[in-house]
């Protein structure tokens, strides 16, 4: 019996082509015992990557495998190192089991934050199964196709003074400064993103890729990983009730699709 949660740690669809789309921050479930210690704001899970499953609804038909988190990042952050090491040591970040929101407000009522034993239990119950599935699917894809492509899908509010100044570009591609993915492919993706009407793009800017991108991307071993951090204003309401905006999303979705098509074309045109 799992003492932390009664819900499965992920949802998974296995595809037929050499691409895995990971969505580690789309989960909204908070086990009742954990929710009881959160502030009212914390229980609203504001810092979710809302509606990415809908934005990427074309990916299944493209033949991609899809891995989606079920639990909120407030339970445990699947895109952080298991030891809690900072992704950006000189900048403000949230941790493996966050204690505060993106607005730098407390997540927990006084004295209710997780201790080391609780953090270890959450890691075992939710973090580890997600990463076991991610690693297994990349291995399966590589065995079948000779190459595996990992696309780590994220979104965030476009203005968050805690993390960056001003307004974030709409498409933030990250390849760990070129370490996690073929550089020519990354350049091609940046060109596609920059061609989106009315939207902006950057490569390895404020967001260079989190733990997933950095840990699994091994181009020399034919495993390429990229992160896309999108502004939420490019497809949804950034404030409550965080509604999906179909007319707005329709302006961004074709560019996301074109980037994934380019990733697949790269993988399937390699002479392996």
Instruction: Evaluate if pTM is beyond 0.85.
Output: yes
SS3 of the chain: helix, strand, coil, percent, to 5? 35, 20, 50
> Which class for 6: exposed (0-12), middle (13-18), buried (19 or more C-beta within 10 A)?
exposed
DSSP SS3 for 183: helix
Which structure tokens are listed for 2? 């799992």
> What does the alpha-carbon distance between residue 45 and residue 22 come to, in Å, rounded to a whole number?
20
Position 161 pLDDT exceeds 60:
yes
H helix or E strand, kind and range, residue 122: helix 116-122
Closest CA to 173 of 105, 226, 251, 123: 226
> C-alpha distances in angstroms, 114 versus 127, 172, 247?
15, 32, 41
Residue 242 phi, psi (nearest 5): 60, 45
Which among 96, 94, 87, 126 has a CA at the least distance from the CA of 214? 87
Q: Where are the beta strands (DSSP E) in the chain?
A: 10-13, 19-23, 65-69, 148-156, 171-174, 201-203, 223-231
User: Mean pLDDT in the chain?
Assistant: 95
d(CA 125, CA 169): 35
CATH 3.10.20.30: does it fit domain 10-268? no
Angle at 209 between CA 102 and CA 269, to 5 degrees: 145
Give phi and psi for 223, each to the nearest 5: -125, 115
Q: pLDDT band at residue 162, thresholds of 50, 70 and 90?
A: confident
Mean pLDDT calculated for residue range 22-36? 97
Q: What is the arithmetic mean of pLDDT over 186-205?
A: 97
Q: Is the pLDDT of residue 80 over 70?
A: yes
**Does residue 93 surpass a pLDDT of 70?**
no
Written as six digits, the tokens of 39 are: 């502030």
241 prior amide bond cis, ω within 30: yes
Element housing 34 (H / E): helix 32-35
pLDDT at 1 over 60: no
What percent of the chain is predicted at pLDDT more than 90?
A: 89
The mean pLDDT value for 47-68 works out to 98
């Amino acid at each position: 019996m799992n003492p932390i949660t009664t819900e499965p740690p992920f949802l998974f669809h296995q595809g037929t082509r050499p691409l895995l789309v990971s969505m580690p921050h789309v989960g909204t479930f908070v086990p009742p015992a954990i929710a009881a210690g959160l502030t009212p704001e914390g229980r609203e899970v504001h810092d979710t990557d809302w509606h990415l499953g809908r934005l990427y609804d074309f990916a299944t038909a493209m033949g991609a495998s899809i891995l989606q988190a079920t639990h909120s990042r407030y339970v445990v952050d699947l895109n952080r190192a298991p030891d809690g090491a900072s992704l950006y040591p000189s900048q403000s970040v949230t941790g493996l089991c966050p204690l505060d929101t993106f607005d730098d407000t407390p997540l927990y009522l006084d004295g209710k934050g997780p201790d080391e034993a609780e953090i270890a239990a959450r890691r075992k119950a939710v973090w580890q199964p997600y990463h076991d599935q991610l690693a297994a699917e990349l291995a399966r894809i590589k065995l079948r196709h000779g190459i595996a492509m990992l696309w780590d899908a994220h979104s965030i509010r476009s203005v968050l003074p805690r993390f960056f100044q001003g307004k974030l570009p709409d498409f933030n591609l990250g390849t760990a400064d070129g370490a996690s993915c073929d550089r020519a492919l990354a350049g091609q993706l940046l060109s596609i993103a920059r061609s989106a009407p009315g939207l902006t793009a950057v490569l390895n800017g404020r967001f260079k890729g989190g733990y997933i991108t950095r840990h699994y991307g091994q181009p020399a071993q034919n495993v390429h990983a990229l992160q896309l951090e999108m502004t939420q204003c490019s497809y949804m309401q950034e404030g409550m009730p965080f509604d999906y905006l179909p007319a707005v999303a329709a302006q961004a979705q074709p560019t996301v699709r074109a980037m994934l098509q380019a990733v697949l074309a790269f993988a399937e045109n390699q002479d392996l």
